[in-house]
Every structure is written in C-alpha cells, then in structure tokens.
C-alpha cells in the first residue's frame, strides 16, 4: 500500500485533532454545545447552529450537497490592502501562509496567517448558555503598522429548516431584522407566533454593517468575493424580506507586534408572551443584553472556556486506560467517549450526512446509544429511558421514532419494527448496572404519552419481552414485522413503486411467515439479562417464566436457525431461508452471527466457533466485516430495501460498522482474543487514520456508519460519519469486553479478552461513589482471570464487590 497523503494528526495532550491542510478529502467537522444550543463546524468554519431541534429551530442557514461543498458558515473576512482572506481558507480560498484547525472537546480553533497578520478564532458554546462564542484574535506579526478591514458574516435561517428550503413564495417576504449598536437581531415571524429571536453581536463599536444578503454579496457574486468586502465598504443595508444576514464591519489598526481580541456572540433568546415587545414592532432585548453582558470580555470568555474544559475533564476522568498503545488509549480516553456524547446529543438528526430535517430520535438507536454515555451522565440517561418508554404501545410494540422537542412518537413512520421492544431492556439494564438505581423500575411511565395510562417501567420491560413471545412464526422464531435492526430487510413490503417507503409500506403482512434470527439472538441476550434482573429484585416466578421462553428460543434457533456453518438470517414471507448456503446470493449475514454468538446459542455443539470462523472466512476484508456475502447484484422484490443498494454499499454488503462489534463481542465471549482484537483494530479510527486518510475520506477521529465493502467500487471509502450506533458499540466492546471492566449490580466484573501480545495495563474507573485503580497482568493469556486482589486482599470470583471510596485492584490472568 503506497503512503497516503496526510491532512492532520492527533494531539493527545490537548485532546485535539489537528488539521493542517484545509483541503481535506471531505469536510472534517466537530460539534459545539452540550445541552440546548448546538452547532456543527467544519475545518473551514462551515456549518450551522440550532436550538434543541435542527428542524424546527434552525438559527443559521446551511445548504447541503452544494457546489462548492460545505458552502455557508460563520466567516470572517480580513481585507489587508488588496488582499482578502479568511482564517479558515474558505470561502475566499486565498492561499494562506499558515493554516491550522484544532478540533477539541466541544470547541474548535481555526488559525490562519497571511502577509504578517494572524487571525485565530476559538469557537465554542459555553455551558448552560444559549450562544456560540467566536473569540477572534488578530495579531500583527509584521514590522509595519497594519490597517485592516474586518467583516463578519452569518446567514439567518427562517427557523424551520425544511420550509426554509422550499416555501419561497412566503419566505422571500417575511424576513425582518433590527440593528442596535453592535448587535444585529433576527426577528422573522416574531410579530406573530414565535416568541424567540436570535442575535449576532460583537463587543466593540462597529463602523458599519449589512443585513441584506444580496446587497452584501451582490446577486452575481459568491461568498468567496462579496461586493462589500471586495470594495472594503459596508452598505449598512436593512433587510426587508429576501434573505437576512448579519455582517459587522470593523476597522482595525495594529502596530507591529500588537494583537486584539474581538468577542462575537451568536445568541438565541425566548421571551414570555406578554414580554415580547419593548414598543410596537420593537423586540424586547433585555435578555439578549443580559446574555451579552455575561460574555463580552476576553476574561469572561476565557473563564467560560475553562469551565467547558473542566466539564470535559470530569467526564473523561470516569474511565481512563493506560496501555502504552497510543492508538488504543486515545480512542478509549478521548475520541470514542466524545463521539458517544455527540450521538447522545444529536441522535441521528444533524451531521454532514443527516440534514437535520429528517429523522427524530430512534427507539432502538437511542437505547443503544445509552450504553455509550450512561457512565458519564447517569441522570440524563435515566430521563432518556423514561422518554423512550413513554412512546411504547400497550401491546409492547413501540413507535420507531420520536421527536426531540415534543417527545411524541412519530406517526409518519409508526411502529412494527419487531426488534424495538428488546432494546428497552438492553438500555435499562445498562443504566441499573452502572448506577445501582433500581428505583427506576418503579417509575410510572405512560403508553404513547397518554396521561392516565401509566404503569411501572418494570411492566414496560415485561410487555417488551412478551411482545416477542406473542409474535412468533411457524418455526417458533420471532416475526420480523417491518424490519428488525436492519431497517432494509423488509420482508413484508413487496414494492414496485419507487415512491413508496420501504419502511412504511407493508403490502402483505397478513399470513406472513417472515422470521428473524437476529431478533432471536437479541431476545436470548436481553432475555438472560431480564431473568437475572427479575431474580435480583425477587420476582422469581417471572424469572422462571422468562427462562423457559429463552430456553425455547435457544432450541428453536438450534433446530431451525442453523445452516451448517453459520446461523441463518431469516425466513421470508413464504417461509424460505435467507442467509443460507442454498441461496444464490447473500448466503451469510453478519447480524445473526453477532447476536447468536453473543447469546452463545449452540456453543457446546460447536455452532459459535463455526459461526465466528465463517465471519472471518466470508465477511472479513481489509477494512472490516461486510454485512452480507456475496452482495446482492439484483433487486429482490421479496426482500425490500436491502437489495436496492449497489454492491458493497450500506446494507448491501457494506461494512456497516455498527454490527462489527457484535461479532467482536461474540469473539470475546468465546475467549478468542486475537481474533477479537484484529477485527476491532480494523475499524478503530486511529488505525485507519494512520494508513488511509485519503481513501477513508471522512473524519479519521470518529467512526462512520459505513465503509464501502469488498464488493464496492472503492473498498475502504467511509460515509455517514459521526451519528452512528457504532460509537456506543465500540465503547461497550472495548471498555467491557476487551479491557474487561464490566459494571454489574453488586460491583465491577473483571473479564478481559485480549490479544496474546497484550501487556500490563491500568484502568482508572469511577463507579458510583467509588474510585478504582485496576491493574491487569495478562501474562500472555487471551482470556480467564486467575486471581484478583482488592486493596491487597484476595477476592473470590471475578466481581469486585462495590464499596465507596478509593480502591486498588490487581488482576492476574
């Protein structure tokens, strides 16, 4: 493999990824904000901001899939004589003497230098504030005085990001702004039903401004060369309709060696209904001014930034590993945990592949994401579980998605995805094991958000299990419904109409025989967890009842779900096998191998080992394991969306990173540490970063949903970065199964599964009110703990019993 061009590198000490060439193979982005106000920011300062919901409260405008790519963002133009440049290179694309973008934990710093002037911008959203800070430092590094003209730029979105892109007959007439001092206010629709507005402020007097896009840019120009900037003259335009923007104009004189800070603030405000106006047509600006007053000096901003860093110190101090392998340590200690928090905040709503106007929160996605952040923010995980469970139906089925602002189930997509209920057990068990908080089981939780319908959360778990048991097919395996985890295996859809959604079209569900082995495995894994939970809380009869159901499922899989070398994937509507050696294409699928090996179904009969070997033989390639093999080469009417994708992409034999960890965990449970590690390292970003920055294309510091598989045109090319269940699964895999630190009801279970080359390592783990320092001595073993001492005393078994305080643990394998 020839050496690929590199665009950046990790800086572990600062927890940053440093991009040194602005022309990355795709925009490499970061996320700002942790609670209500959020922003996406690319390495050239592209992107946008929103309040809570990327669809309904979009603050700034963004044009997806544009030419050029990543067009629109927060831009600073420096005009130095005849030269116009931007610190992030775009949009003017004037070649810089120096460029650097540092993506850190909820902040990004972009620095550019040109002709002896440096502009460095720190972007972040302070904790608990509804605003994005942009602290710009301009310094004169030359020997002469510099007279610079500085223009800022933001473009307002008219709040609803969907209608903003289409309802122009209305939009072009509604835009309204106010300008007061150094603040530009955006108040479109405030005169009627909106009680919120946005503003863009700078903490210095300005010498001009613009608020009308066409006047500022010029109808036949681009962001690269706006009229006002090229001429060095603001127009002081006041937008009425069309496209409102916010641009400040500031004249800056810098002596040699001098530097100045400017604090720009993009804020969002909500007013009470009776407090909306200061005078007729004039918005009440009190809250905006109060917010500005909190962040209008370098000192205040630096303090807010220090608080943000301390917040991340605390989050990342909960689980820290030291193995001596930088590529592993940086993913475990920094980037994997960071990506999990981002997926917690954004679910699947807003990335450079998710436009923010589509999906809300997924029922299954959100439950899985939970295992990635429950150790960091348990109270918010608790709330998330209650929110999710509140969208369940009384029969145990669930809305497939819900809206983040209203928390209501999404009627457009509805329910009928038969894996969904099981995930509620998965999420809840993870929460209780982390926190020891069994009281969540007694919370009263409604069905479909209907007041009066409340039952305990435990009841919700029970009907979730029952939903599977009550929906078994002819082989006593779970009916698949509209789809299981694989949204694209739509066995009751049968569509020839390109305008139909594969997920919501069910032409033929009556009389279906379509069954899923993936749900069967998932049911056994979560069923065992449910049984253990019932025993723990003294519900022995219920434990017994469910154990029988789990046992029957295991028998059904062994009898009807085994193909000889691997587990089948499903039975179709007519009861024909899917994922079998008998099939012409797609003879083997990854999902059922993952779940049935995790469930250890048929381990004694050798099924687990054979299945794992088959994954290596048929699914594995240089870049990870593909979803199915061979890829479908033609559309199969009976299978739905899966075969609609060209070979090697997405659910048709792409490397769908989300499910690689399932097989890796299967390997770990089977004690095959070398294999587990080699699968893991293939999709671990830091290993990919080292080898394939150009080919991989998307950000090398986080996982992406899909890497093109071995049947694709360009195997190894990544897509759909950031918002993917892969983040949580990678975390769960490495923290609990590879490094082997597993929270349990009564303490921490220690059960690593390592490559035989592993050397001694230490994990610092805060757990409830305790602080453990755990050192593992693998001694060349892949699996199997021989002895444990806790504070010098031997411990029987593999669970360190929980007690508050500081503890030292030594583990010998």
Comparing CB distances to ligand GLC, the nearer of 507 and 762 is 507
Beta bridge partners of 153: 75
Comparing CB distances to ligand GLC, the nearer of 487 and 647 is 487
Dihedral, 787, 788, 794, 795 alpha carbons, nearest 10: -100
Binding mask 499-538 for ligand GLC (x = CB under 6 A): ----x-----------------------------------
| Cβ contacts of 124 within 8 Å, gap of 6 or more | 32, 106, 107, 108, 132, 133, 304, 305, 308
* Sites for ligand GLC among residues 104-133 (CB under 6 A): none
Binding mask 641-660 for ligand GLC (x = CB under 6 A): x--------xx------x--
| Cβ contacts of 117 within 8 Å, gap of 6 or more | 78, 80, 138, 139, 140, 141, 142, 146, 148, 254
Q: Give residue number: closest CB to ligand GLC.
A: 487
Comparing CB distances to ligand GLC, the nearer of 188 and 486 is 486
Lookup: tokens for 419: 């894996």
The site that binds ligand GLC (CB under 6 A) totals a number of residues, namely 15
**Min separation Cβ 662 and ligand GLC, Å:** 12
**Min separation Cβ 368 and ligand GLC, Å:** 8
Residues marked active site are found at 487
Binding mask 658-697 for ligand GLC (x = CB under 6 A): x---------------------------------------
Does residue 640 interact with ligand GLC by CB under 6 A?
Answer: no
Q: 3-state secondary structure string, 10-35? A: EECCCCEEEECCCCCCCCCEEEECCC
Lookup: tokens for 809: 């643990």
Comparing CB distances to ligand GLC, the nearer of 149 and 348 is 348
Binding mask 203-242 for ligand GLC (x = CB under 6 A): ----------------------------------------
**Min separation Cβ 162 and ligand GLC, Å:** 16
Comparing CB distances to ligand GLC, the nearer of 102 and 650 is 650
Comparing CB distances to ligand GLC, the nearer of 178 and 641 is 641
With H, G, I as helix, E, B as strand and everything else as coil, classify residue 783. strand
Comparing CB distances to ligand GLC, the nearer of 333 and 652 is 652
Cα(313)–Cα(311) distance, rounded to whole angstroms?
5
Interacting residue with ligand GLC among 365, 529, 542, 717 (CB under 6 A): 365
CB 743 within 8 A of CB 683: no
The Cα-based distances of 72 to 125, 240, 360 in angstroms read: 19, 21, 24
Interacting residue with ligand GLC among 435, 705, 733, 735 (CB under 6 A): 705
Quote the crossing angle between the two packed helices 673-683 and 660-669, to the nearest 10°.
160
Interacting residue with ligand GLC among 88, 267, 362, 661 (CB under 6 A): 362
Taking the CA atoms of 313, 133, 286 and 171 in sequence, report the sign of the dihedral they define: negative
Does residue 355 interact with ligand GLC by CB under 6 A?
Answer: no
* Sites for ligand GLC among residues 454-493 (CB under 6 A): 485-488
* Sites for ligand GLC among residues 68-107 (CB under 6 A): none
**Min separation Cβ 41 and ligand GLC, Å:** 23
Does residue 364 interact with ligand GLC by CB under 6 A?
Answer: yes
Ramachandran assignment for 494, one of left (phi > 0), alpha (psi -120 to 50 degrees), beta (any other): left
Q: Can you list the alpha helix ranges (DSSP code H) found in 416-562?
A: 420-435, 457-469, 517-536, 540-560
**Min separation Cβ 400 and ligand GLC, Å:** 8
Binding mask 330-349 for ligand GLC (x = CB under 6 A): ------------------x-
**Min separation Cβ 486 and ligand GLC, Å:** 5
How crowded is residue 544: how many other Cβ atoms within 10 Å of its Cβ? 12
Comparing CB distances to ligand GLC, the nearer of 562 and 645 is 645
Comparing CB distances to ligand GLC, the nearer of 591 and 620 is 591
Contacting range for ligand GLC; rule: CB under 6 A; set: 120-128, 214-222, 268-276, 357-365: 357-365
Which phi and psi (to 5°) does residue 771 adopt?
Answer: -135, 105
Cα(725)–Cα(703) distance, rounded to whole angstroms?
9
**Min separation Cβ 705 and ligand GLC, Å:** 6
Binding mask 708-727 for ligand GLC (x = CB under 6 A): -----------------x--
Cα(51)–Cα(105) distance, rounded to whole angstroms?
19
**Min separation Cβ 419 and ligand GLC, Å:** 8
- What's the start-to-end Cα distance of the chain, in Å? 37
Which phi and psi (to 5°) does residue 575 adopt?
Answer: 85, 20
The Cα-based distances of 543 to 468, 524, 601, 717 in angstroms read: 16, 13, 19, 46
Q: 3-state secondary structure string, 199-217? A: EEEECCCCCEEEEEHHHHH
CB 147 within 8 A of CB 253: yes
Residue numbers of the site for ligand GLC (CB under 6 A)? 348, 362, 364-365, 485-488, 503, 641, 650-651, 658, 705, 725
């Amino acid at each position: 493999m020839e050496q690929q061009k590199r665009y950046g590198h990790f800086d572990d000490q600062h927890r940053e990824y440093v991009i040194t060439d602005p022309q990355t193979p795709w925009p490499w982005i970061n996320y700002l904000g942790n609670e209500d106000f959020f922003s996406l920011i690319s390495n050239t300062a592209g992107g946008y901001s929103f309040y809570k919901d990327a669809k309904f409260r979009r603050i700034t405008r963004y044009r997806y899939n544009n030419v050029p790519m990543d067009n629109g963002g927060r831009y600073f133009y420096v005009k130095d004589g005849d030269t116009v440049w931007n610190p992030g290179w775009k949009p003017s694309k004037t070649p810089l003497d120096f460029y650097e973008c540092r993506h850190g934990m909820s902040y990004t710093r972009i620095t550019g230098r040109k002709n002896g002037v440096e502009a460095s911008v720190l972007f972040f959203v302070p904790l608990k504030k509804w605003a994005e800070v942009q602290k710009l430092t301009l310094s004169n590094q030359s020997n002469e005085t510099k007279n610079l003209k500085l223009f800022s730029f933001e473009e307002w979105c008219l709040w609803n990001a969907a209608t903003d892109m289409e309802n122009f007959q209305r939009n072009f007439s509604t835009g309204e702004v106010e300008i007061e001092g150094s603040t530009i206010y955006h108040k479109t629709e405030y005169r009627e039903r909106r009680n919120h507005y946005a503003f863009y402020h700078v903490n210095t007097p300005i010498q001009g401004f613009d608020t009308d896009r066409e006047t500022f840019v010029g109808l036949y120009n681009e962001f690269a060369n706006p009229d006002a900037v090229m001429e060095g003259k603001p127009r002081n335009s006041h937008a009425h309709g069309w496209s409102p923007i916010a641009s400040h104009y500031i004249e800056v004189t810098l002596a040699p060696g001098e530097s100045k800070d400017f604090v720009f603030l993009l804020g969002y405000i909500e007013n009470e209904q009776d407090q909306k106006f200061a005078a007729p047509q004039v918005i009440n600006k009190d809250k905006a001014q109060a917010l500005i007053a909190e962040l209008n000096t370098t000192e205040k901003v630096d303090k807010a930034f220090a608080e943000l860093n301390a917040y991340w110190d605390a989050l990342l101090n909960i689980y820290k590993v030291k193995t001596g392998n930088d590529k592993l340590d940086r993913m475990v200690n920094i980037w994997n945990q960071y990506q999990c928090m981002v997926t917690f905040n954004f679910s699947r709503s807003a990335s450079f592949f998710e436009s923010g106007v589509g999906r809300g929160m997924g029922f299954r996605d959100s439950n899985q994401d939970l295992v990635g952040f429950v150790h960091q923010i348990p109270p918010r995980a608790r709330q998330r579980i209650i929110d999710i469970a509140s969208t369940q139906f009384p029969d145990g089925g669930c809305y497939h998605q819900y809206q983040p602002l209203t928390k209501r189930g999404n009627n457009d997509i509805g329910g009928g995805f038969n894996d969904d209920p099981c995930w509620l057990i998965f999420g809840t068990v993870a929460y209780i094991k982390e926190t020891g908080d069994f009281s969540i089981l007694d919370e009263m939780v409604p069905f479909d958000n209907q007041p009066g319908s409340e039952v305990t959360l435990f009841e919700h778990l029970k009907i979730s299990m029952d939903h599977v048991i009550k929906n078994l097919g002819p082989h006593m395996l779970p009916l698949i419904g509209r789809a299981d985890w694989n949204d694209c295996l739509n066995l009751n859809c049968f569509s020839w109409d390109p305008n139909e959604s594969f997920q919501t079209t069910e032409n033929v569900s009556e009389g279906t025989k379509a069954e899923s082995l993936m749900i069967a495995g998932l049911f056994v894994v979560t069923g065992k967890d449910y049984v253990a939970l019932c025993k723990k809380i003294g519900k022995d009869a219920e434990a017994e009842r469910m154990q029988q159901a789990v046992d029957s499922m295991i028998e059904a899989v062994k009898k009807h779900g085994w193909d000889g070398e691997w587990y089948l994937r499903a039975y179709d509507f007519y009861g024909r096998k899917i994922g079998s050696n008998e099939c012409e294409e797609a003879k083997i699928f990854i999902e059922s191998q993952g779940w049935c090996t995790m469930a250890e179904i048929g381990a004694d009969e050798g099924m687990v080992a054979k299945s794992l070997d088959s994954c290596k033989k048929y699914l594995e390639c240089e870049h990870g394991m593909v979803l199915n093999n061979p890829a479908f080469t033609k559309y199969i009417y009976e299978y739905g969306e899966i075969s609609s994708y060209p070979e090697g992409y997405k659910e048709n034999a792409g490397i769908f990173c989300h499910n690689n960890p399932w097989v890796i965990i299967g390997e770990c449970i089977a004690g095959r540490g070398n294999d587990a590690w080699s699968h893991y390292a293939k999709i671990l970003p830091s290993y990919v970063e080292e080898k394939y920055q150009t080919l991989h294309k998307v950000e090398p510091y986080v996982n992406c949903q899909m890497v093109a598989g071995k049947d694709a045109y360009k195997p190894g090319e990544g897509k759909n970065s950031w918002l993917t269940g892969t983040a949580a699964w990678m975390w769960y895999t490495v923290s609990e199964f590879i490094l082997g630190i597993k929270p349990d009801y009564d303490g921490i279970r220690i059960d690593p599964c390592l490559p035989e080359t592993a050397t001694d390592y230490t994990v610092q783990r805060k757990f409830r009110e305790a602080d453990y320092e755990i050192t593992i001595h693998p001694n060349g073993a892949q699996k199997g703990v021989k002895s444990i001492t806790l504070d010098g005393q031997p411990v029987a078994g593999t669970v360190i019993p929980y007690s508050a305080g500081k503890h030292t643990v030594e583990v010998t394998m």
